[in-house]
Amino acid sequence: MAADSAEGTSPDPSEAGQAADDLARFDTGVAHPARIYDYWLGGKDNFAADRAAGEAVMAARPTVVRDIRANRAFMQRAVAYLAHDAGIRQFLDIGTGIPTSPNVHEIAQEIAPDARIVYADNDPIVLAYARALLTGTRDGATDYVDADLRDPDKILDHARRTLDFGRPIAVQLIGMLHLISDDEDPYGIAARLMADVPSGSYLVVTHPASDVDAEVVAEGARRYNASSSTAQTRRDQAEVTRLLDGLELVEPGVVQAHRWRPAHGLDVSSYEVSCWVGIGRKP
């Protein structure tokens, strides 16, 4: 989908046909991370296998929905911080998931109408919805690349069509790197993505924690891995912090999702969220 589409514009009929082709590519009988996540967020774009997988995790870990929503709320605060406080006008969001409003472009372009956003994901259902829903403002742009995080070069090459790699870019890995096993080198992938963006760019990371409610989340992960098409690898705070090596950590550093710059007066001390988050700036 390419770039500048005005608000209120009707979807291109050709895109509807392409969406149908995309949807024909996926197997609804196997649970998929994006659709399980959609179910936990209260969405409707999921199937029986996704709901069954989600319910199995919830039975072992009743707080999973709260944790997932805390992760989503952090994303929204992070984008607002980057667009408003840090002056970022370009976002590369990898692992977009099924669009759930407000999305990155909606938050960023409300603050800065000229913001440009590239989304990347490799789930056909995400691609189908992205073509129809992820439209930009008149002054800004959105684009979408069908690519796997394990192929960062493809993502970067496509992103150059919309983003200016001579200006700072916020690279976002929201709830993605736990789907990359240690053997697949999540640290190398993060470093590769940041190697191509200029000084002043940011990396935003969220990651399920292995060291918060450790026994409960380990059982939840076991059940998730038993039914999902992609296994997860939970990591502890030190391992998540390592993903931001070489970057200047934005205060308050790597913390639980609900404790990163919460809204004034919000109670964040009386409960735990099994998700580490952090933002780093490339010097």
91-102 pLDDT, tens digit each: 999 988 887 789
CB burial of residue 263 (10 Å; 0-12, 13-18, 19+): exposed
Kind and range of the H or E run holding 192: helix 186-195
Q: What pLDDT digit, counting tens, does each position of 9-63 carry?
A: 333 444 444 444 545 456 778 887 778 878 888 888 888 999 988 898 888 888 8
Identify the CATH number of the domain defined by range 13-281: 3.40.50.150
Token match 């994303």: residue? 75
Which regions of 84-139 does DSSP assign to beta strands (E)? 90-94, 116-121
Q: Are 274 and 208 in contact (CB under 8 A)?
A: yes
Nearest to 159 by CA among 225, 214, 93, 211: 93
Nearest to 208 by CA among 26, 25, 33, 16: 33
How far is residue 70's CA from residue 68's CA, in Å, rounded to a whole number? 5
For the chain, the structural domain boundaries read 13-281
Residue of higher predicted confidence among 24 and 260 = 260
pLDDT confidence of residue 136: 66
Nearest to 172 by CA among 136, 140, 209, 197: 197
CA separation, residue 91 to residues 64, 105, 114, 201 (Å) = 27, 8, 12, 10
- pTM reported for the whole predicted model: 0.85
Q: What pLDDT digit, counting tens, does each position of 218-246 carry?
A: 888 888 888 777 888 999 999 999 999 99
